[in-house]
Amino acid sequence: MTQSLQRRNRAASPPGIEIRHARGCPANAEGRCTCAPAFRAIVYSKRDARKIQKTFPKLSAAKIWRQDALVDLRRGKLHAPSTATLREIAQQWLQDAASGNVLNRSGDPYKPSVVRGYEQALRTYVLPDLGAIRFGELQRRDVQALVERIARTGKSPSTVRNALLPLRAICRRAVSRGEIYDNPTRGLELPAVRGRRDRVAAPHEAAALLDALAPRDRLLWATATYAGLRRGELQALRWGDVDLDAAVIRVRRSWDRVAGEIEPKSAAGARSVPIPAALKAPFSASPTGPAGELVFGRTPTRPFDPWTVSERARRAWSASGLVPITLHECRHTYASLMIAAGVNAKALQTFMGHASITITMDRYGKLFPGSEDQAAVLLNAYLEQAHA
């Protein structure tokens, strides 16, 4: 762009905004414009000693962004974009997440297993395509193109979405810290995930599954079914956490296959879970150990191996003609049984260790009473009583 054209553009546009013509437009040679020019808004960050700029298709949008950017600069909420690549930013984010310096949306540190999963997703799907791009220059169209490339390889919709989770977390943090102004992972077109229905055992089926197990395995699967503990919570459960007199299990920790004993999944994960009679009986029939000893351990201090106990149970159920169930599906069964028993959503959230009731309702809301017929019966009964 010639100096005279630059002067003309500055004169024709508001301060801090440049008119950007298409490459073949005659306006670039001081002719008459035949394109739909873009508008680049520019502010200067004294703290970073660098320009911050963003291009818009309309002048009005450029004006609004520049006004907001000037305000954010004065408030210290806006920074010049980093010159680091996405690969460098991602590596630093993973280090910070592993050390607990990055928190998830619930305000808790990321679990080691989540950090490992994020590292694998970045290494497998994101960084090979986008790692060399400067983080501050990453745009939504880049991420959208990545989504479409992963989908074309035949990966499931859930895999496509999970591949983006670490990038979403990185960008969300960068926006909150003012390192980038716009989140390039928002507004993406993602393939729909059609969730499969979770396997849930009916009360009589749950009892039959437990009866078919050897005594050494029955207590473990009964605790998963009638207390709903997560696998890691079962692995970390100690005898001192089981209070049969008060009829509660106090969940205080979890287990990670690499990091070992860790804090519960979230602050809500530390909780007390009631022990029903169906669970108290197998606990009472089992020999107890010292308070610090693991309830379900290969050794007093080493937890059970999930694959081994699952395979042993599968063989027992197959021999009895029963459909096998997983430890995680036992947790779903527990939620189903509690709802069928009339436990309200807020109490179930507490017993399940969910960080918010939204999680409980999103996963189990359809199981709560509330069909059209039942709603009509309840309303009719209320109105009849009110008019009596």
The 10s digit of each residue's pLDDT in 170-223 is: 999 998 887 787 899 999 999 988 766 678 999 999 999 999 999 989 999 999
* Model confidence pLDDT, tens digit, residues 65-124: 999 989 988 887 777 777 889 999 999 999 999 998 998 887 888 999 999 999 999 999
Beta-carbon contacts of 215 under 8 Å, excluding residues fewer than 6 positions away, are 285, 286
Whether the pLDDT of residue 1 is over 70: the answer is no
Residue 354 near residue 345, CB atoms below 8 Å: no
Domains of the chain (ranges, CATH numbers): 3-74 (no CATH), 86-176 (no CATH), 203-367 (1.10.443.10)
Give residue for tokens 């399940």.
352
Cα distances from 141 to residues 53, 147, 162, 183, 337, in angstroms, run 18, 10, 18, 12, 46
Residues 27, 73: Cα–Cα separation, whole Å: 33
User: Mean of the pLDDT values across residues 280-296?
Assistant: 93
Residues 111, 263: Cα–Cα separation, whole Å: 9
Phi, psi of 291 (to 5 degrees): -55, -35
Please report which confidence band the pLDDT of residue 375 belongs to, taking 50, 70 and 90 as the band edges.
low
Whether the pLDDT of residue 371 is over 70: the answer is no
Helices (H), 83-184: 86-98, 112-121, 127-130, 140-152, 157-176
* Model confidence pLDDT, tens digit, residues 215-251: 989 999 999 999 999 999 999 999 999 999 999 999 9
Give residue for tokens 């696998």.
231
Residues 2, 381: Cα–Cα separation, whole Å: 82
Please report which confidence band the pLDDT of residue 11 belongs to, taking 50, 70 and 90 as the band edges.
very low
| HSE (side-chain half, CA atoms, 13 Å) at 346 | 0
Residues 121, 256: Cα–Cα separation, whole Å: 19
* E strand spans, 236-344: 242-243, 248-251, 254-256, 260-262, 271-274, 297-299, 302-303
Query: Dihedral (C-alpha) 289, 294, 297, 298: value to the nearest 10 degrees?
Result: -70
Give residue for tokens 């949306």.
105
Residue 320 near residue 213, CB atoms below 8 Å: no
User: Mean of the pLDDT values across residues 350-365?
Assistant: 88
